[in-house]
């Protein structure tokens, strides 16, 4: 089957099933209320400067999602990488709420402050990136807003460091596979190039 994306109206369904696995950015923003939401249209972008990109959509009523509004206003976010034992509360935090309701309170998601000038991180996340808005992209015709964020600080849970000198670490990660999730627990060693 050949699919023409100019004619196909369900590109999202096709892409989310074919572009796998997709890492999950569990984003914390703070204006006057702590907002927590997961996004799977997310990826590392460059290492110099250290940037990542996340694509954020809109609410059903067409308004920007709270994450997008907060990043535009404060220019900051904390991106946590969830582990498998956080899957349920991470999934629950995707529920669309009014902007005065915090997912942290509603779903009992524990937070901890690492840097005063950045939103809190989710307690128990093995990795967290403390980021500043670098650039907002405008994709003509898209309801999504890709944001490039620059990593200013990183938290890494010591328990998952396997080699401190080489900065190697492993943790029980999860990713989005189609509309579901996958546990990423098996590492396949890269073959040595002759």
Q: Is residue 194 part of a domain?
A: no
3-state class percentages of the chain: helix first, strand second, coil last, to nearest 5? 15, 40, 45
pLDDT of residue 118: 98
Contact 17, 180 (CB under 8 A): no
Judge whether 191 lies within some domain.
Answer: no
Output the pTM of the full model: 0.91
Q: What is the mean pLDDT of each run of 10 residues along the chain (194 residues)?
A: 75 81 94 95 95 94 94 98 93 94 96 97 96 96 93 94 86 86 78 84
- Which CATH number characterizes residue 76's domain? 2.30.110.10
Query: 108: left (phi > 0), else alpha (psi -120 to 50), else beta?
Result: left
Residue 29 near residue 121 (C-beta atoms within 8 A): no
Please report whether residue 1 resides in a domain.
no
Q: How many domains does the chain have?
A: 1
Q: Quick check: is 147 in a domain? A: yes
* Residue 59 domain-assigned (yes or no): yes
Domain residue limits at 106: 11-184
In a domain, 42, yes or no: yes
Query: Is residue 193 assigned to a domain?
Result: no
Report pLDDT for 122: 98
Determine the pLDDT at residue 89.
95
pLDDT of residue 66: 96
């Amino acid at each position: 089957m050949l699919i023409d994306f100019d004619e196909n109206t369900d590109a999202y369904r096709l892409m989310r099933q074919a572009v796998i696995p997709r890492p999950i950015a569990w984003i914390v923003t703070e204006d006057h209320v702590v907002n927590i939401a997961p996004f799977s249209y997310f990826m590392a972008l460059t290492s110099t400067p250290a940037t990542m990109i996340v694509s954020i959509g809109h609410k059903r009523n067409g308004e920007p999602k709270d994450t997008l509004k907060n990043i535009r206003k404060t220019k900051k976010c904390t991106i946590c990488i969830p582990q498998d034992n956080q899957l349920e509360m991470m999934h629950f935090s995707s529920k669309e709420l009014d902007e005065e309701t915090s997912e942290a309170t509603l779903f009992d998601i524990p937070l901890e402050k690492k840097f005063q000038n950045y939103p809190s991180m989710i307690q128990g996340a093995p990795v967290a990136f403390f980021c500043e808005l670098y650039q907002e992209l405008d994709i003509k015709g898209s309801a999504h807003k890709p944001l490039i964020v620059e990593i200013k600080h990183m938290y890494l849970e010591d328990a998952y460091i396997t080699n401190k000198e080489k900065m190697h670490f492993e943790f029980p990660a999860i990713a989005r596979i189609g509309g579901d999730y996958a546990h990423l627990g098996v590492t396949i060693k890269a073959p040595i190039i002759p």
